[in-house]
């Protein structure tokens, strides 16, 4: 699956989970937050495509929703879980 298609799938998953997705500029990577009563996921708009994918995959992984589609689970596994294990094996 192309990276742009992966991004579209992750964006729609975030929205299906009841979060508002915002791309903003700033000195941050991104993540989820609660503004008053709204759930918001904010992603740095200047990140490269891979950074946006990783940020959204990490947020969805932390939310750990039941019933993720196999495609989304595969993206999360590839981007987040593999990076966690890679980080543990670095001396």
Read off the pLDDT of residues 36-91 as tens digits, 9 standing for 90 and up: 788 999 999 999 999 999 999 999 999 989 999 999 999 999 998 777 555 544 44
Confidence of residue 19 (pLDDT cuts 50, 70, 90): very high
Tokens for 67?
């019933």
> At which residue do the structure tokens 């990577």 appear?
29
pTM above 0.95, yes or no: no
| Residue 65 lies in domain | 3-88
**Distance, CA of 3 to CA of 59 (rounded, Å):** 17
85: left (phi over 0), alpha (psi -120 to 50) or beta: alpha
As for how many domains the chain has, the answer is: 1
């Amino acid at each position: 699956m192309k990276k742009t298609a992966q991004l579209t799938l992750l964006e729609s998953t975030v929205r299906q989970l009841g979060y508002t997705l915002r791309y903003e500029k700033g000195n941050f990577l991104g993540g989820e937050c609660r503004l008053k009563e709204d759930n918001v996921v904010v992603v740095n708009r200047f990140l490269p495509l891979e950074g946006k994918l990783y940020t959204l995959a990490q947020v969805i992984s932390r939310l750990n929703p039941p019933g993720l589609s196999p495609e989304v689970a595969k993206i999360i596994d590839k981007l987040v879980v593999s990076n966690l294990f890679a980080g543990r094996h670095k001396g």
